[in-house]
Structure 1
């Protein structure tokens, strides 16, 4: 491996900046240097599909299109329980049949979970689906630009401020039907880097997570500098929800969750089939 910094893209959300702070700031001994790009998930998903950058935080839902070129790292991502995307509207209990829904990415795990849920919960199906940056969705619902919104991240803590109502929790639906954690965001790296480098990257990501847990104050200014209009309290809630044992290591349960999501989606004709071996770490 050369001394050239690896090009990485992850979101400015607190969970990502918390996880990658130590690595990005040279606090992980022996870890390769990083050239960081901040981008929302819709952008990083597109980067992965075009084969841009060396390491990316992406949606699990985009993996069927990128696993030929990228390997799934076993750490650094976002899985969990009680942290699923929410469907919000201005009025409680409204039907989404034929309605316009804003989503954060048409290749996001949130949207994939939404499609799996809507297949049985929305007779006749929704109407138009509009992709917009996740932080624009709640204002768009509040202002009547769309009928409903599929939201992620800290929106689960803040949607009441916009006068919105929760119609459904995609995580509750997923967990009740599978009993598994929700696979949301994955860390991937180019297979062309080679197996030894991929293992080195996984070690660096894991060490960065552990450093963040051991000294959470070290990353606070980095987290808050990049958080989008977010209070320190909400940032802490965000980190507590999305950074957990699965971030340190997927483990067999995490891999089972990923395989189950992609298998369900493929069986429904929503994504191409993914061979089980494609999710294996070199």
Structure 2
């Protein structure tokens, strides 16, 4: 069975048990580690991987062939994307008018949140949008290749190492504006699969990770792109939470709020939001 997720600590922590045959009754998994921009693209193909991690913002393009699973993703509070610059003098939205901005994917939740925020806070409009792998964004901002960068994952712990400044915390804005947690990464499974069974496997993998946190340590650091053990742990602590085992009513409400608002603004295709619940 083919599964695709990122090499980031929250994903490798969650899926360690599943892909290492530590969950009873699971098949052998063929694992691919991929950037979110790649998986968002793969999700548009009917013959794509069996299970994968994509952005919640990419669901409208994936929903024909894939089902959103209620576990294994990334949704929470205090974990939203940041807009960074290399200047300490910028003042929120006005600093981005006509700016060249690096983003991790045009169909990422980060970019969708940015577009929703920008409609209210950026006079006129931003300039060029440049898509690049998220780990290349901070160096690009530091080196002046772009005016600002939209970052995700562990960048919130390390951006000061690049001499960068936070212009806005989009997660903080979203939570303040809506009261909802931030829907970041979704786990989807192909409609040909038994999604209840797959969900059960993933939930058990999360529970195993929490019960045996040291078991995945080497695996996590092997794929953590030279991240320090402390940063990797902070990453896991932030992104792996109660929503990792079950989105629940609060999680689904956050997803519906994001996609519904974006569709109303014409940023994504409209879809039947209730159909996102798999069972």
Q: By the TM > 0.5 criterion, same fold?
A: yes
User: Do structure 1's residue 78 and structure 2's residue 74 form an aligned pair?
Assistant: yes
1:228 matches 2:225? yes
1:46 counterpart = 2:17: no
What is the distance in 1 between the residues matched to 2:77 and 2:238? 8
Per-residue CA deviation, residues 126-167 of structure 1 (Å, 9 max, x unaligned), is: 100000000000000000000000000000000000000000
**1:89 is matched with which residue?**
85
Q: Which of 57, 64, 68 is the equivalent residue of 1:68?
A: 64
- Aligned CA RMSD, in angstroms, stands at 0.7
- The worse-fitting range, judged by mean Cα deviation, of 71-80 and 88-97 is 88-97
Any idea what SS the aligned residue of 1:79 has? Answer: strand
| Residue of structure 2 equivalent to 1:169 | 169
Structure 1: gaps (5+ residues): 1-5
Count, aligned residues: 274
CA drift of 1:49 comes to: 1.1
Deviations 1:65-112 (A, max 9, x none): 111110000000000000000000000242100000000000000000
> Structure 1 residue aligned with 2:244, among 244, 247, 260?
247
Q: Please give the per-residue CA displacement for 1:171-223, whole angstroms capped at 9, x wherever unaligned.
A: 01100011011000000001122xxx211100000000000000000000000
SS across alignment from 1:20 = helix
- Which one of 216, 221, 240 corresponds to residue 219 of structure 1? 216
Corresponding residue number in structure 1 for 2:8 = 13
Structure-2 residue corresponding to 1:59: 55
1:243 shift after superposition? 0.2
For structure 2, the 5+ residue unaligned runs are none
TM-score, normalised to structure 1, is 0.96
**CA distance in structure 1 between the partners assigned to 2:45 and 2:144 by the alignment:** 34
In 2, Cα distance between equivalents of 1:217 and 1:171: 30
Structure 2 CA distance for aligned equivalents of residues 37 and 56 of structure 1: 9
Which stretches of structure 1, 4 residues or more, deviate above 4 A after TM superposition? none
Distance 1:78 1:129 in 2: 25
Q: Which residue of 2 aligns with 1:3?
A: none
2:205 counterpart of 1:183: no
Matches within 5 A, 1:183-202: 183-193=183-193, 197-202=194-199
Q: Distance in 1 between matches of 2:233 and 2:150?
A: 22
1:262 is aligned to 2:259? yes
TM-score by length of 2: 0.97
